[in-house]
C-alpha cells in the first residue's frame, strides 16, 4: 500500500516538472494562438545553455539560471519579432511549419555543438538528498521542482490577472485590432509573451537537466508531455495546467509501478481518457 | 488659417479588390464636432478605420495637425491622441469593466480623464467595475466603450454608431453625456444612423454615399431634402 502511495507522491512531484513544460506552451497559445512545435527543443536548448554556464563559470545549475533565463527571454523576444510574428495570421499552418523547422534547426545545432552523448547538469548534494515523509521517501530535488512549479504558475497567474502587462496579453488575445487601438503594439506584446514563456522554459530546462540526462533528440517527448498537460488541464487555465501535469505525472508513475515499460504509455492513456470524456479538458477557462 | 486638426486628402480605401472609399477630402478644425451620415455600406466605418490606423494608406492621405499619419499603425495613431469608439462596442471579454477602462489609459497621455472622472460621468460603471464586461447591458457596454476611449485623453475622438441597438431612453442618456465630453475642447467625428441625433450634436455634416462625399455643409444650412437625396441617391 505504502508503495503505491509513494508512487502517487512521486507522480505528483513529477507533474510539477510537466507543468513547467506546459506553462510556456499554454501562455503562447493563449496570447497568440501559436502552437510552438519547437517548445520541447527550446527546453533542451536551455538545459545545454545551463550546462555550458555551469562548466564555464563553475557555478551550480540554479545559479546558472541567472544567465540562462535572461538569455532565453531575449532569444524569445528576438525570435518572435524577427520570425514568428510574420507567420501569424488567419492561417494556422505557417506558424506550425516554421516552428517545426525551428525544432529541426535547434536539434541539429545542438548535435553539432554538443554531440549526441547524453549529458547531465551537476546538481550536487541536492540531487541525492531526500526526506522521509511518514514512511515515504521523497527526493529534495523533485520536491523543490514541484515548489518552483507552483511558484511559477502563481507568478504567471499574478502577471496575467494583476498587472498591466497581463491586461495587455488578455486584450491582444481577445481582439488584436482593438488592442492596437488602445496603443498596444501587438508585435511587441507578442514578443514579451514569448520572452516570458522562454524564461519559464529556461527554468524547466535546468530542472530537467538536473533530474535526468538529456541529449539533443529528447525535445519532442517533452513537447508531447507539455501538450498533454495543457490539454488535460483545459486550455487557457494555468492552475488547470498544473493539475494536468500532476495527472499525467501520477498516471506515468503508476504505470511504471505496474511495469517500468508502461510509464509513457500510461500517461498517454490517461490523456486519451480525459480527452474522450472532457474534450475541453478538466478545467477549461471561464471568461474573466 | 490655423492648422486643421484632421485633414484627409484624396483618401481611398480597399478591401482586396473592392474599393470602399474614393478620394475623400475633408478637413476638421480644432474643437469642431462633425457628423458623418450615410446608408448602410456607405463607408462610414471604413473612414473611421482609415483615420485610426486600422486601415493603412499613403502617409499624406491622413494628416493630423499637419503630421502625415496615413501609414502609421493604430497604436502609433492612438499615442498621438486619436481615439475610436468602435462600431458594436467591441469590449475585451476577458477584462473586467474597470480593466477595460484602464487599458484605454494605456497610451499614457496626460489630460482630465481618469477612472474617477469616467465613473462620475457614468456612475453605474463604478458599481459594476469588477464584473465581466460581457455581463453588462448593451447601453452599459457602450458607456464602457466611450469611457475606454476617453481614458486615452484624446484630442480627436471618433464615435461609430454609438446608438446602434440601444433603446431610445438609453440613447438619450448617452447623448446627454456627450456635450460634457466634447465640450472639453475635443474635436469629434460622430457617425450615426440616427440623423436627428447626429445633427443636433454637430456643426457640420458630411453625407457619404458609396464611398464618396455626396453632401457637405453647415448643419443649419442643409435641408431635409438635401439629406434625403444624398442618403438615398435620389434627386429631391
Ligand atoms: N472586411 C471587409 N471586407 C470586404 N468588404 C468590406 C469589409 N468591411 C466593409 N466592407 C465593404 O465596404 C463597404 C463599406 O463598409 P462600411 O462598413 O465602411 O460601411 P458603413 O457605412 O459603416 O455601414 P453601416 O452603416 O452598415 O455600418 C461595404 O460595401 C462593405 O461591404
Ligand atoms: Mg459602420
Name every chain B residue with its beta carbon within 8 A of the beta carbon of A173. Answer: 94
Asked whether the beta carbons of residue B74 and residue A180 sit closer than 8 angstroms, the reply is yes
Long-range contacts of B86-90 (CB under 8 A, 24+ apart): B86/A178, B86/A181, B86/B48, B86/B145, B86/B160, B87/B45, B87/B48, B87/B160, B87/B161, B87/B164, B87/B191, B88/B161, B88/B164, B89/B138, B89/B141, B89/B142, B89/B144, B89/B145, B90/A175, B90/A178, B90/B145
Specify the pLDDT at position A288.
Answer: 41
| Residue B189, domain extent | 4-232
| Cβ within 8 Å of residue B202, ≥6 positions away | B33, B34, B35, B190, B219
Closest CA to A18 of A238, A227, A270: A227
Residue A287: pLDDT over 60: no
* DSSP output for B108-175: ---SS--HHHHHHHSHHHHHTTTSBGGGS-HHHHHHHHHHHHHTT--SEEEEE-TTTT--HHHHHHHH
Q: How confident is the model over B160-199, as pLDDT tens digits?
A: 999 888 888 888 888 888 888 887 789 999 999 888 888 8
Q: How confident is the model over A7-54, as pLDDT tens digits?
A: 999 999 999 999 999 999 999 999 999 999 999 999 999 999 999 999
Q: How confident is the model at residue B234 (pLDDT cuts 50, 70, 90)?
A: low
Closest CA to B97 of B122, B61, B78, B68: B122
Give the separation between CA B146 and CA B84, rounded to whole angstroms.
Answer: 9
Specify the pLDDT at position B16.
Answer: 93
Q: What is the mean pLDDT of residues A187-199?
A: 98
Distance from CA of B1 to the nearest CA of A (A): 31
Name every chain A residue with its beta carbon within 8 A of the beta carbon of B94. Answer: 170-171, 173-174, 287-288
Asked whether the beta carbons of residue B73 and residue A185 sit closer than 8 angstroms, the reply is yes
> Is residue B50 within 8 angstroms of chain A, CB to CB?
no
Judge contact between A185 and A172, C-beta under 8 A.
no
What would the grid cell of residue A160 be? 496575467
Judge contact between B83 and B152, C-beta under 8 A.
yes
Task: Determine which residue's CA is closest to atom 5 belonging to ligand 1.
Answer: B15
What would the grid cell of residue A103 be? 525544432
Asked whether the beta carbons of residue A287 and residue B93 sit closer than 8 angstroms, the reply is yes
**CB of B42 closer than 6 angstroms to any ligand 1 atom:** yes
Helices (H), chain A: 2-32, 39-57, 61-79, 85-87, 93-114, 125-128, 140-162, 164-174, 176-181, 186-211, 219-233, 238-258, 263-277
Distance from chain centroid for Cα A278: 22
Give the separation between CA A210 and CA A122, rounded to whole angstroms.
Answer: 6
Asked whether the beta carbons of residue B93 and residue A288 sit closer than 8 angstroms, the reply is yes
Percentage of residues of chain A with pLDDT beyond 70: 99
Q: In which residue are the cell numbers 521517501 written?
A: A137
Q: How far is the CA of A66 from the centre of ligand 1 (A)?
A: 52
The angle formed by the CA atoms of residues B234, B223 and B6, to the nearest 5 degrees, is 95
Name every chain B residue with its beta carbon within 8 A of the beta carbon of A183. Answer: 75, 78-79, 106-108, 152
Q: How far is the CA of B45 from the centre of ligand 1 (A)?
A: 7
CA end-to-end distance (rounded Å), chain A: 42
**CB of B104 closer than 6 angstroms to any ligand 1 atom:** no
Length reported for chain B: 236
Chain A residue with CA closest to B153: the answer is: A182
Q: What is the CATH number of the domain that holds B76?
A: 3.40.50.300
What would the grid cell of residue A108 be? 541539429
Q: How confident is the model over A208-233, as pLDDT tens digits?
A: 999 999 999 999 999 999 999 999 99
Give the separation between CA B153 and CA B156, rounded to whole angstroms.
Answer: 9
Helices (H), A212-237: 219-233
pTM score > 0.90 for this model? yes
* DSSP output for B14-72: EETTEEEEEEEEEEE-TT-EEEEEE-TTSSHHHHHHHHHTSS---GGGEEETTEE-TTS
Judge contact between B130 and B144, C-beta under 8 A.
no
What per-residue string of b and e applies to A97-134 under the rule 16 or more CB within 10 Å gives b? ebbeebbeebbeebeeebeeeebebebeeeeeeeeeee
In Å, how far are A201, A211, B189 from B215, measured between CA atoms?
A: 60, 74, 16
CA end-to-end distance (rounded Å), chain B: 35
Q: How confident is the model over B91-128, as pLDDT tens digits?
A: 999 999 999 999 999 998 999 999 999 999 999 999 99
Judge contact between A267 and A255, C-beta under 8 A.
yes
> Is residue A181 within 8 angstroms of chain B, CB to CB?
yes
Q: What is the mean pLDDT of chain B?
A: 92
Specify the pLDDT at position A286.
Answer: 59
> Is residue B89 within 8 angstroms of chain A, CB to CB?
no
Q: What is the mean pLDDT of residues A149-164?
A: 96
Give the separation between CA A232 and CA A25, rounded to whole angstroms.
Answer: 13
Distance from CA of B96 to the nearest CA of A (A): 7
Q: What is the mean pLDDT of chain A?
A: 94
| Cβ within 8 Å of residue B193, ≥6 positions away | B37, B161, B163, B164
How many CB atoms are located within 10 Å of the residue A56 CB?
A: 10
Task: Quote the ipTM score.
Answer: 0.92
Strand partners, A214: A119
Specify the pLDDT at position B227.
Answer: 81
Residue A167: pLDDT over 50: yes
> Considering CB atoms only, which of A168, A178, A184 is closest to B90?
A178
- Give the ligand with the smallest distance to the CA of B49: 1
Give the separation between CA B102 and CA B111, rounded to whole angstroms.
Answer: 14
**CB of B20 closer than 6 angstroms to any ligand 1 atom:** yes
Q: Which helix (H) or strand (E) holds B206?
A: strand B204-209
What per-residue string of b and e applies to B178-213 under the rule 16 or more CB within 10 Å gives b? beebbeeebbbbbbbebbebbbebbebbbbbbebeb
The number of distinct structural domains making up chain B is 1
Q: In which residue are the cell numbers 533542451 written?
A: A44
Residue A138: pLDDT over 80: yes
| Cβ within 8 Å of residue B170, ≥6 positions away | B138, B139, B142
Specify the pLDDT at position A247.
Answer: 96
Q: How confident is the model over B33-87, as pLDDT tens digits?
A: 999 999 999 999 999 999 999 999 999 999 999 999 999 999 999 999 999 999 9
Min mean pLDDT across A3-7, A79-83, B24-28 is at A3-7
In Å, how far are A20, A54, A122, A254, B147 from A63, measured between CA atoms?
A: 18, 8, 12, 33, 47
How many CB atoms are located within 10 Å of the residue B64 CB?
A: 22
**CB of B38 closer than 6 angstroms to any ligand 1 atom:** yes
According to DSSP, residue A212 is labeled S
* DSSP output for A267-287: HHHHHHHHHHH-TT-SSPPPP
Q: How confident is the model at residue A236 (pLDDT cuts 50, 70, 90)?
A: confident
Asked whether the beta carbons of residue A182 and residue B78 sit closer than 8 angstroms, the reply is yes
> In this structure, are strands B18-28 and B6-15 parallel, antiparallel, or unpaired?
antiparallel
Amino acid at each position: 500500500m505504502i508503495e503505491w502511495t509513494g508512487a502517487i507522491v512521486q507522480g505528483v512531484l513529477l507533474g510539477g516538472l510537466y507543468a513547467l513544460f506546459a506553462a510556456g506552451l499554454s501562455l503562447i497559445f493563449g496570447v497568440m494562438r501559436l502552437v510552438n512545435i519547437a517548445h520541447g527543443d527550446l527546453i533542451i536548448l536551455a538545459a545545454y545553455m545551463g550546462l555550458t554556464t555551469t562548466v564555464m563559470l563553475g557555478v551550480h545549475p540554479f545559479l546558472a539560471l541567472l544567465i540562462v533565463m535572461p538569455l532565453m527571454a531575449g532569444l524569445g523576444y528576438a525570435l518572435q519579432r524577427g520570425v514568428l510574428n510574420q507567420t501569424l495570421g488567419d492561417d494556422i499552418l505557417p506558424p506550425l511549419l516554421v516552428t517545426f523547422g525551428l525544432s529541426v534547426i535547434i536539434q541539429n545545432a545542438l548535435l553539432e555543438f554538443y554531440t549526441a552523448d547524453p549529458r547531465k547538469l551537476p546538481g550536487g548534494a541536492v540531487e541525492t538528498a531526500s526526506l522521509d515523509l511518514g514512511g515515504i521517501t521523497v527526493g529534495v530535488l523533485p520536491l523543490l521542482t514541484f515548489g518552483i512549479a507552483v511558484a511559477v504558475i502563481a507568478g504567471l497567474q499574478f502577471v496575467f490577472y494583476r498587472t498591466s502587462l497581463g491586461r495587455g496579453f488578455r486584450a491582444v488575445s481577445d481582439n488584436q485590432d482593438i488592442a492596437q487601438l488602445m496603443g498596444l503594439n501587438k508585435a511587441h506584446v507578442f514578443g514579451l509573451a514569448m520572452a516570458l514563456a522562454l524564461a519559464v522554459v529556461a527554468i524547466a530546462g535546468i530542472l530537467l537537466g538536473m533530474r535526468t540526462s538529456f541529449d539533443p533528440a529528447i525535445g519532442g517527448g517533452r513537447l508531447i508531455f507539455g501538450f498533454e498537460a495543457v490539454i488535460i488541464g483545459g486550455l487557457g487555465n494555468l492552475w488547470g495546467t498544473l493539475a494536468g501535469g500532476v495527472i499525467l505525472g501520477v498516471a506515468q508513475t503508476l504505470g511504471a509501478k505496474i511495469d517500468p515499460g508502461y510509464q509513457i504509455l500510461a500517461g498517454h492513456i490517461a490523456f486519451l481518457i480525459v480527452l474522450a470524456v472532457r474534450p475541453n479538458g478538466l478545467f477549461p477557462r471561464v471568461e474573466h | 488659417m490655423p492648422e486643421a486638426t484632421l485633414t484627409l486628402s484624396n483618401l481611398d480605401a480597399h478591401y482586396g479588390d473592392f474599393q470602399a472609399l474614393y478620394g475623400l477630402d475633408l478637413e476638421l478644425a480644432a474643437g469642431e464636432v462633425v457628423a458623418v451620415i450615410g446608408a448602410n455600406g456607405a463607408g462610414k466605418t471604413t473612414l473611421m478605420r482609415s483615420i485610426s490606423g486600422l486601415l493603412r494608406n499613403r502617409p499624406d492621405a491622413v494628416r493630423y495637425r499637419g503630421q502625415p499619419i496615413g501609414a502609421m499603425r493604430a497604436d502609433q495613431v492612438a499615442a498621438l491622441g486619436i481615439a475610436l469608439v468602435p462600431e458594436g462596442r467591441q469590449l475585451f471579454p476577458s477584462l473586467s469593466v474597470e480593466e477595460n477602462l484602464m487599458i484605454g489609459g494605456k497610451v499614457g497621455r496626460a489630460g482630465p480623464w481618469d477612472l474617477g472622472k469616467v465613473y462620475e460621468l457614468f456612475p453605474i460603471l463604478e458599481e459594476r467595475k469588477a464584473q465581466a464586461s460581457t455581463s453588462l447591458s448593451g447601453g452599459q457596454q457602450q458607456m464602457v466603450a466611450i469611457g475606454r476611449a476617453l481614458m486615452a485623453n484624446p484630442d480627436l475622438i471618433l464615435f461609430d454608431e454609438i446608438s446602434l441597438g440601444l433603446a431610445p431612453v438609453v440613447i438619450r442618456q448617452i447623448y446627454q453625456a456627450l456635450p460634457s465630453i466634447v465640450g472639453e475642447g475635443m474635436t469629434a467625428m460622430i457617425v450615426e444612423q440616427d440623423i436627428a441625433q447626429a445633427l443636433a450634436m454637430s456643426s457640420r455634416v458630411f453625407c457619404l454615399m458609396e464611398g464618396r462625399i455626396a453632401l457637405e455643409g453647415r448643419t443649419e444650412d442643409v435641408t431635409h431634402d438635401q439629406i434625403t437625396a444624398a442618403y438615398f441617391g435620389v434627386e429631391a
